[in-house]
A and B are shown apart, each in its own frame.
Chain A
Amino acid sequence: MSAESIATFESSLDEVGVECVRTTAGGFESTLAPLLDDPAVGAPLPFDGVSLPESVNADPTVAELEAAATGVTAAGYGIADYGSVVIQGGAAGEEPVSLYADEHVAVVGADDVLPDMDAAFDRLAADVREGAGQSIIATGPSATADMGALVKGAHGPMDVTVVLLEDR
């Protein structure tokens, strides 16, 4: 992580309409709380000392998933230049949780904020070769212009928030 990458990441996120909130493991729960609209669903977070609060349903049914207001998942890394997060979906359900809720909250370790696409593709390629089944470079909310004007929230979330864990 470099301070420069983090600053670029924040301004790129701002440009694509994504709020970025900085916190630490200790402050995670209180940072997350105001970002959660009920009902919230989530996929387990792989960061030491960080876990989903009890109010977040980590084992949703199909109906609960579709009704969710907030979905919380980890993102494998961030790409500073573009304000993207890379969602590495797997058996734990990151893909549906990040996709069906109205708002996606992506938790990223500051260590994992990469400067640009060059760096991101080095990681992506290594991950794919090690068996990562899917990686989604997600930038901003889902969107469409097909209905005569730009609308956020087409098939996917209409809002995205990034929680940046600084003590990583």
Chain B
Amino acid sequence: MSAENRRQKAEHIRNLLETEGDSVQQNTRVFNEGRYESTAKLDDYERLKDEARAIKEDAIERLPELVDEVTEAVEANGGTVYLADDAADANRYITEVVDGRTAVKSKSMTSEEIEVNEALEADGADVWETDLAEFVLQIADEAPSHIVAPAIHKSREEIADLFEEVFDPEDPPETAEELTRFAREHLGEKIRDADVGMTGANFVTADTGSLALVTSEGNARKCVQATDTHVAVAGVEKVIPSVEDLQPFVELIGRSGTGQDITSYVSLFTPPTDSPTFGDEALESGDGRDFHLVLIDNGRMEMRDDDQLRETLYCIRCSACANSCANFQHVGGHAFGGETYSGGIATGWEAGVHGEDSAAEFNDLCTGCSRCVNQCPVKIDIPWINTVVRDRINRGKDGDLDFLVEGLTPDEDPGGVDLQKRLFGNFDTLAKLGSAFAPLSNWVAGAGPARSVLERTLGVDSRRELPEFERESLVDWFADRGSRVDPDAARERVALYPDAYTNYVRTERGKAAVRVLEALDVHVDVPAAGESGRAPLSQGMVATARSNAEGVYDALAPAVAADRDVVVIEPSDLAMFHREYERLLPTEEYEALRGNSYEVMEYVYGLLENGADLGALPGGDGERVAYHSHCQQRTLDLEPYTTAVLDDAGFDVATSDVECCGMAGSFGYKSEYYDLSVDVGETLADQFTTDETADRTVVASGTSCLEQLDALLTRRPAHPVRLLDARRDRR
């Protein structure tokens, strides 16, 4: 990316932060908190998610056969099914059916995907969006910014101004209630006079030819009931085998999306329905209703054949991934979306239905923090899809031919990779060099001219402080010092994994970890293992990440083979071992490493539970600390170990509950994303500067969290293991 493109991107993001950020943040956070509350009430949340996932896996596997089945069922009911290859094909068919008549629509992202309104209007038909948010966007001539609440970026005041400008009413509506009444009445007339009702479908059941529509306003029901012709558009992936299969989705979709236990209406229509329709004055029999189900391929069957993108088809468009995404919370779908879809899973959808260029526009906004992973009701590994697409974008059209550059770089990825990405993806090499030439390297890198060159050529924002490399790495320090616990008398023998940051930059947390483990009678080794692959993976450099993973496994294999535990300080690296290595290493190696590796505070917790002496560690003595866990650590449900250990050791712990600190590794260094990174970070900083937290010692588990907190607070944060280290500097 050129410096100019970076500047434009930064400008666009700043503009959205100013104009739409507040509304988006307010709304998504309400949805997000609602989801946590509502899903917590489910006794069998995990079972429901597994069930939902299994149904989608099966349905996508058997999709061609289910499409045949649903076609038969709908035709037996007296309706018609049209299987459209792409948007143009679908629009041609729908335009013929509508035939210039007036249509009222309920919300449907699939219809946005094919831009059916434009096609119908070009053919002379009037089309009215009846979902209130879609109606607002229609009159404002804007695209949705969220897949469930499309006008989430607009405040009540903006909507009031818009209504006044467009309709010039005598008594302009102002309150939410008045605005709703006004829109309802306006649209009520349109619905009454329309001939065609268009809906999407959240699910289509193959066995009975039924549509399930999940709504709250009631407009979809009206669009179907009030008109003589019903056109439903749905992606082919919406077909599930049977009516019974709807159950887990009905219980999950509202909770996942907006935090409602269930939306006001879940309509199960088996069209053509026989509800009375509107005559000029009287209600008339609805028996003659015409029904068309338009099932759209538009790239989906190719996604089904794509081992990496297939999971995208399991998506039920609930928006949980968007709502739980810290970046989305701050900047919304107009920064976070391609031609149609927005939010976490949008990369998969856009890459599949519109192509990689559309996905490329916003793919980088996924920092891989993984907060969305446990929120997805069908357990899609969304960060992985984003990584794969990033990798494909990196490879580009000509990337493979750029052998000259390729030969000069230490990684495994093709030459086309953006230089900025390559810089961050090769952090290990950078850190090794930086350490070897420290402190000179720190001085040069931090000097004005170097910073401005870094910014211009590589887009490393000069406002962000660079990491300072230590001259002596953790591995070297330990090699000189040796172990202080007799291996034969030790309670445990472990390998401490020296992640690149701990090894070259924050060696103090590595040394603290060694001393704490030794105080608990553990014999520690620090094998010279390289970077985990997290850095290249974040840049979409999957081949390099794989080769790093192999290197790490080789270095740790002797410990694992001897059935020793591997203790990991950096949560994002532990997450690599537990999650991404499944995709990067042979199954046996992945399982061995996953089974033997623990986060350092989790490990300390385990030692204490199994009889180690807490008294061997310095007590907290009621010291007040503010703790920020790391996003990937929370995805793995490891936060409670740190808080439990600190509680037991006598610290008074307050925790943050923001989704993410906004730094997420390299993200916050990139000049195009620096402002967003800081904006997200300020939500965390706010939590640590309240009356209750402002004087607390700040601790954070992740390196990127530490850097972000360091930049945003006046207090210097540390890793929590340092609180347990007897050598800790007491102020």
Contact = CB atoms under 8 A, between A and B. Distances in A.
Interface of A: 60-63, 65-66, 82, 84, 89-91, 93-96, 99, 117-118, 121-122, 124-125, 128-129, 132-151, 153-157
Contacts of B157: 148
B460 interface: no
The 6 closest A-B pairs by CB, nearest first: A148-B156, A156-B218, A154-B217, A149-B176, A146-B133, A125-B243
B262 A96 contact: no
A134 B275 contact: yes
Contact of A133 (B183, B188, B205, B273): B273
Given A91-B274, A134-B270, 17 more contacts: A82-B261, A84-B262, A93-B276, A93-B283, A99-B221, A99-B225, A122-B244, A128-B268, A133-B269, A133-B274, A133-B275, A139-B264, A142-B265, A146-B131, A146-B151, A147-B156, A156-B265
B184 A154 contact: yes
Contact of A154 (B27, B180, B244, B262): B180
- B interface, size bucket: 35 or more
Nearest to A15: B261
Contact of B243 (A93, A94, A128, A156): A128
Nearest to B248: A117
Contacts of B216: 142-144, 154
Contacts of A96: 225-226, 275-276, 283
Given A147-B156, A154-B219, A136 B265 contact: yes
A134 B326 CA distance: 40
26 contacts: A61-B281, A62-B279, A62-B282, A63-B281, A65-B283, A82-B261, A82-B262, A89-B225, A90-B275, A94-B275, A95-B273, A117-B251, A125-B208, A128-B243, A133-B270, A137-B266, A138-B265, A140-B264, A146-B131, A147-B183, A149-B175, A151-B180, A154-B219, A155-B187, A156-B221, A157-B218
Nearest to B225: A95
Chain A interface main SS type: mixed
A61 B179 CA distance: 27
A143 B274 CA distance: 26
B132 interface: yes
B268 A124 contact: yes
B170 interface: no
Interface in B95-140: 130-133, 136
Interface string B337-378: 000000000000000000000000000000000000000000
A87 B101 CA distance: 30
B426 to A, nearest CB: 46
Contacts of B270: 128, 132-134
A147 B179 contact: yes
A15 B156 CA distance: 27
Nearest to A154: B217
Contacts of B275: 89-91, 93-96, 133-134
Contacts of A144: 132-133, 180, 216-217
B274 A90 contact: yes
A121 B247 contact: yes
Nearest to B106: A155
Contacts of B175: 149
Contacts of A137: 250, 262, 265-268
A28 to B, nearest CB: 25
Nearest to B261: A82
